[in-house]
Structure 1
């Protein structure tokens, strides 16, 4: 029997998250040593999506590690949602200062424990508006990232701001992965690397190809110790559009094989950005990234096309307990 993308997505959503957690082994999206992650809740289309809903969708998709925007965490901590809605604007960053500084890190720790109990680790915390933050709020941001268990912060790259942010990264000994777009060239990251030991790169391999018209593999190879995570998407050269996996010029398979073979601690973070086809939705499309001919770019790149528990359960079997995966212990 054949199913439409929408039907597959509905099947993935058919069982409540609590049932998935109770009857399934915890999600495991690490394939042959490569941690596949997801940029959330951005990939779900709503940066203000509540933390519990974001976790529910990650569990239902079988994702075990994420790049998480700070908004769901801060809302859980009691920071006003309306201010978080415009967190990148300076006036709202200023208005957020006191609510942020008075928020309890105990709540952030509780959120971390809840997510890790469900099998999802917050590896990277994305901070919007970081260049408009006062010194005390920057300290808060780095402390928040550590509290939720992140090994890095991510933010957009800015030639005028990476030196100052890098000073805080060095102070807190926590990497910052600066996200590049099509306009970002290798020399922009290289300049940031010279400014601070903990300045790093979040290489969006789709944007890299679209803007630089060349493969990101040499850059990733040279600076692998500075790369916190790569954003996995497919784009065409010459600033071409985002397209479904396998339809663009991005060497997704080759990047994943490089991470696999070199055993680098670099999360391969799916960032969903291509237009949603008629009759489908985001959840169905993200699930399909590992189940149809396009998505086999991921699995074939890592495991030669053989079945993997995560990619198999993403599309049609989220309700079947996975007996082969053991639960992970929660981090301290």
Structure 2
């Protein structure tokens, strides 16, 4: 007897809603882990020669993944990222990446100039270009699970509107964003109008009440719109001192993806997997033993040299932890 996908999903533990049928969510539960890469991880490729889409496709193949969360700067002209606080310079990871947080205070003049160039690129680039990018990834066997858009407070309404259109053009119904509570509130009508989920991503800034960082801030964001979900970064969450597994248990039906990184507690730096304080193995075991179809995105942020090499090591660590978890039987 053939079991329909919706019937299979409705029988899952905790009766996870049918929203998992969306492209924003993972495939139905199976013993096969759903690992992908947040293409922010490939920022070391931006200053190198060659077409960035081609380089990311090759990188995914070398790592052994077929799913990405597409970081907007990795499809922009590389020059637009040259002054970004996370940009890799002379082969070294910056402090903004090492600690996984945007710098605070006034922005440098070069970054402000680049912001205007980014706005211009966003508004002038035809949607057909993003359709072609999505097609190139699909032709290579790689799914664009989400479009990670720079949804900042200085975005114009036209930029926000274009961001949602770009997500759709790429072939996904999920946008993820590191944003603020005020910007998330502004964005509510855009998500509803476009029929695109917004996965709220947080960092570990605990002294700015407008940031997504605490469990309460994520609860507030989710309450804003039925189109809002969570892009759960377990590294930032654990570094900020919160209970990662308890949050996962509470919000598992609202999590569209998990960012995997390992940070030290007490707002410490990113580290190679297994050397920080993030409960990576426990999260992997929880996802597998509860048969949750949640995509798991590797995000390389520690100072470890080549992104491809580091991501391959991260994936190996995850596969070993995944194999140790019992698979829930439906």
How far 1:168 moved relative to its partner?
1.3
Find the counterpart in structure 1 of residue 252 from structure 2: 224
Find the counterpart in structure 1 of residue 271 from structure 2: 243
1:131–1:165 Cα contact (<8 Å) kept = no
Find the counterpart in structure 2 of residue 171 from structure 1: 193
Aligned equivalents of 2:185, 2:84: Cα separation in 1: 21
**Please, which of 203, 206, 212 is the counterpart of residue 181 of structure 1?**
203
List per-residue Cα deviations over 1:271-290 (Å, max 9, x = no partner): 111222xxx53322222224
For 1:220-299, what aligned pairs fall within 5 Å after superposition?
220-276=248-304, 281-291=306-316, 295=317, 298-299=318-319
Q: Compared with structure 1, are the counterparts of its residues 128 and 216 closer, same or farther at alpha carbon in structure 2 (3 Å cutoff)? A: same
1:90–1:132 Cα contact (<8 Å) kept = no
1:43–1:273 Cα contact (<8 Å) kept = no
**Does residue 1:301 correspond to 2:326, yes or no?**
no
Q: Compared with structure 1, are the counterparts of its residues 218 and 255 closer, same or farther at alpha carbon in structure 2 (3 Å cutoff)? A: same
Aligned equivalents of 1:200, 1:218: Cα separation in 2: 17
How far 1:96 moved relative to its partner?
4.2
Query: Secondary structure of 1:176's partner?
Result: strand
Aligned equivalents of 1:227, 1:48: Cα separation in 2: 33
For 1:63-212, what aligned pairs fall within 5 Å after superposition?
63-75=65-77, 81-83=78-80, 85=82, 92-183=114-205, 184-212=213-241
Query: Secondary structure of 1:155's partner?
Result: strand
2:45–2:55 Cα contact (<8 Å) kept = no
Find the counterpart in structure 1 of residue 208 from structure 2: none
Aligned equivalents of 2:57, 2:146: Cα separation in 1: 15
Q: Bigger CA drift: 249-258 or 118-127?
A: 249-258
List per-residue Cα deviations over 1:225-258 (Å, max 9, x = no partner): 2222111011222222222211222111221122
Aligned equivalents of 1:235, 1:31: Cα separation in 2: 29
Find the counterpart in structure 2 of residue 56 from structure 1: 58
How far 1:112 moved relative to its partner?
1.2
How far 1:186 moved relative to its partner?
0.4
TM-score (norm 1): 0.70
Unmatched runs of 5 consecutive residues or more in structure 2: 1-28, 86-110, 206-212, 326-330
Q: CA RMSD in A?
A: 2.7
List per-residue Cα deviations over 1:108-140 (Å, max 9, x = no partner): 112211111111111111112543222222111
Aligned equivalents of 2:119, 2:276: Cα separation in 1: 42
Q: How many residues align?
A: 263
1:230–1:266 Cα contact (<8 Å) kept = yes
TM-score (norm 2): 0.71
Query: Secondary structure of 2:301's partner?
Result: coil
1:90–1:129 Cα contact (<8 Å) kept = no
Greater relative contact order: 1 or 2 (C-alpha under 8 angstroms, separation 6 or more)? 1
Unmatched runs of 5 consecutive residues or more in structure 1: 1-29, 76-80, 306-332
